[in-house]
Amino acid sequence: MDNHSYNYPSDCTPLTNCKSGRKANGSTVVNMGQAADKCPPRDYLLWSLCNTLYVNFCCLGFFALIYSIKARDQKTQGNLQLAQECSDKAKWYNILAAGWNLLVPLLAIVLLVLLLIHLGTSEGSFDFFGEDGFQSFMKLFSW
């Protein structure tokens, strides 16, 4: 680069102090982007996709996915208020879906443990694979 293509004063060259008539302003303002209260809402798309693919009790994960996509669309269109509303709905549907996704396996484990405890404390032996195995098993559930 040659300096003659730029219009610098003769006493002001790049990376040096200028002694010309330009005066320094007392403050410097640096724009770092949007403020914290103006940041765009989250869309929770990955969380919604995981909840949709795993168990998906009562289609809660699918509803979360729909609102996540709506939130992303509204965010790209610049409608941040509607994007925030869709984001909040997606978050709550994801919370409900994740709760159910954790509750169903936990209930299955608890029922299995209770069944094993009941089988261990009941009198007699239960031969599930023998001749009377199914009848012995059904006696557990008869009143």
* Predicted structure pTM score: 0.56
How far is residue 90's CA from residue 71's CA, in Å, rounded to a whole number? 8
Q: What is the pLDDT of residue 73?
A: 94
The per-residue pLDDT for 90 is: 96
Task: Please state the domain extents for the chain.
Answer: 42-123
What contacts 98, CB < 8 A, 6 or more positions away? Answer: 47, 51
pLDDT at 128 over 90: no
User: With contact defined as beta carbons under 8 Å apart, do 93 and 66 qualify?
Assistant: no
pLDDT higher than 70, residue 4: no
SS3 category, 69: helix
pLDDT band for position 133 (cuts 50, 70, 90): low
In this prediction, residue 21 carries a pLDDT of 52
**What pLDDT is attached to residue 11?**
57
135: pLDDT confidence band, cut at 50, 70 and 90?
Answer: confident
| pLDDT, tens digit (0-9, with 9 covering 90-100), for 30-44 | 766 555 556 788 989
